[in-house]
Amino acid sequence: MVRTGNQGFRERAYTSQDGLSLYYRDYGDPLAASVPVLCLAGLTRNSKDFHGLALRLSRTRRVICPDYRGRGRSAYDPDWRRYQPRTYVDDVRHLLAVTNLHKVLVIGTSLGGILAAAMAVAVPSAIAGAVLNDVGPDIDADGLQRIVAYVRDQQPQPDWEHAARHLKENLPDLGIRDDKGWLALARNTYREGEDGRVHVDWDPALVKPLLTGDGGATDLWPLFKALRRVPVLAVRGAKSDILSETTFERMAEALPGLARVTVTGVGHAPALVEPECQAAIDALLADL
């Protein structure tokens, strides 16, 4: 599948190693000389989250933004046990082969940052650098419980305005300033169903690995330390309940060359379009 339009990206799909159709957005010139960027979203998120960032970066380079299996326009996995990082890394590795990308800067938000670190172990030659957005090797328990509750909250909303209001009430620390911003987030989070209501844009079975304890790695520090050979930028929302200030400091000690940015007034997770984030990402790219 290849669809193009005036939205600033090409819509593409590829087949995973186990036969699922997986969607991605392809921005910019595929033949651009600059290091390409791979944007990896959070647990329930999708490629739409990176649209603003991707448009800006694609002026000079190619940018790839996939939907993980079970999210957005990618197929849902019939076996929920495959909703786990090892599978996602395999999907990403296959995506790099399909897009003929040999080395990329990985920008990962939350789960995406964990996958960036895992790639440094699984496909080290493919990593030119990494941006870890509001995630680290230690994840605060309170924040993790909040995320589990959020993923379990799958009640349809009657319309887009109610969906935006629901997000605003449950995610007050995102730093979104106006109703237009909350409506945009709703359209990145929900999809319109045949019943006329709006539903979460992810497979409800995503919560099962979280409830059974099968959803992630135990000790993430070895993965994080595998990034020591490449430039890394760590971003933290000052009000984050996922990446604590203590862990943020420990990350700097483990990686002496780590660049860091704290976004004031924002929780989990910064949108990466904040001026301080843009400047830091541009500085990292300039060194690649």
| Domain hosting residue 15, numbered range | 2-140+218-286
Residue 191 lies in a domain: no
Strand order in the sheet with 259-263: 2-3, 10-15, 21-27, 63-66, 37-40, 104-109, 127-133, 232-237, 259-263
Residue 175 lies in a domain: no
CATH (domain of 82): 3.40.50.1820
Residue 162 lies in a domain: no
Residue 80 Cα distances to 17, 69, 149, 201, angstroms: 16, 10, 18, 16
Closest Cα partner for 135 from 147, 126, 150, 124?
A: 147
Residue 213 lies in a domain: no
Q: How many domains does the chain divide into?
A: 1
- Mean pLDDT calculated for residue range 159-183: 93
Residue 133 lies in a domain: yes
Looking at residue 187, its pLDDT comes to 96
For a pLDDT cut of 70, what percent of the chain falls above it?
Answer: 96
Tens of pLDDT along 215-242? Answer: 444 789 999 999 999 999 999 999 999 9
- Mean pLDDT calculated for residue range 139-154: 90
Tens of pLDDT along 48-95? Answer: 999 999 999 999 999 999 999 999 999 999 999 999 999 999 999 999
Residue 249 lies in a domain: yes
Residue 268 lies in a domain: yes
Strand partners, 189: none
Looking at residue 175, its pLDDT comes to 86
Residue 183 lies in a domain: no
